[in-house]
Amino acid sequence: MLYAEPLKVSLQFKAASTYYYLQQKLKIFFIPFIKKLDKFHGILIALWIIYYVIHSVFAAGYVKELFKNKLGKYFRYYRLTYSLFAAITLILLLIFQYSFYSPLLFKSSLIKYFAVAFLILPGIIIMTISIKKYFMLLSGIRSVFTPTPAAELKINGIHQYTRHPLYSGTILFVTGLFLLFPTLSNLIAVALLTIYVLIGIIFEEKKLIKEFGENYEHYILNVPMLIPSVRKKGIKKIETQQSLKSEIPGR
pTM of the model: 0.75
Q: Quick one: average pLDDT of 125-147?
A: 68
pLDDT of 194 reads 95
Does residue 24 sit within a domain? no
Calculate the alpha carbon distances from 246 to 167, 201, 208, 211 in Å: 11, 11, 10, 13
**pLDDT tens sequence across 73-128:** 888 888 888 888 999 999 999 999 999 999 998 887 888 888 888 999 999 999 99
Residues 143-196: tens digit of each pLDDT: 555 555 556 777 778 888 899 999 999 999 999 999 999 999 999 999 999 999
Would you state the pLDDT for residue 62? 85
Q: Label residue 35 exposed, middle or buried (CB < 10 Å: 0-12, 13-18, 19+).
A: exposed
Establish if 223 belongs to a structural domain.
Answer: yes
pLDDT of residue 234: 46
pLDDT digits (tens, 9 = 90+) for 192-215: 999 999 999 998 898 888 888 888
Whether residue 145 is contained in a domain is answered as yes
- What pLDDT is attached to residue 246? 41
- Please report, for the domain that includes residue 83, its CATH number: 1.20.120
Q: Is the pLDDT of residue 238 over 80?
A: no
Amino acid at position 22, single letter: L
Where do runs of H (alpha helix) occur along 181-213? Answer: 184-212
Q: How confident is the model at residue 193, as a pLDDT?
A: 95
Beta bridge partner(s), residue 183: 104
Q: Work out how many domains the chain is built from and give that number.
A: 1
Considering the domain boundaries, does residue 4 fall inside one? no
What is the DSSP secondary-structure string of 126-173?
A: HHHHHHHHHHHHHHSHHHHHSPPPPPEE---GGGGT-S-HHHHHHHHH
Distance CA 208, CA 251 (A): 10
Share of the chain above pLDDT 90, in %: 33
Instruction: Give a yes or no: residue 16 inside a domain.
Output: no
Confidence check: pLDDT of 35 > 90: no
Provide the b/e sequence for 183-202 (b: ≥16 CB within 10 Å): bbbbbbbbebbbebbeebbe
Is residue 73 assigned to a domain? yes
In a domain, 96, yes or no: yes
Q: Residue 231 has what pLDDT?
A: 61
CB of 170 within 8 A of CB of 186?
no
The range of the structural domain enclosing residue 199 comes to 37-243
Classify residue 19: in a domain, yes or no: no
Give the mean pLDDT of 208-235. 80
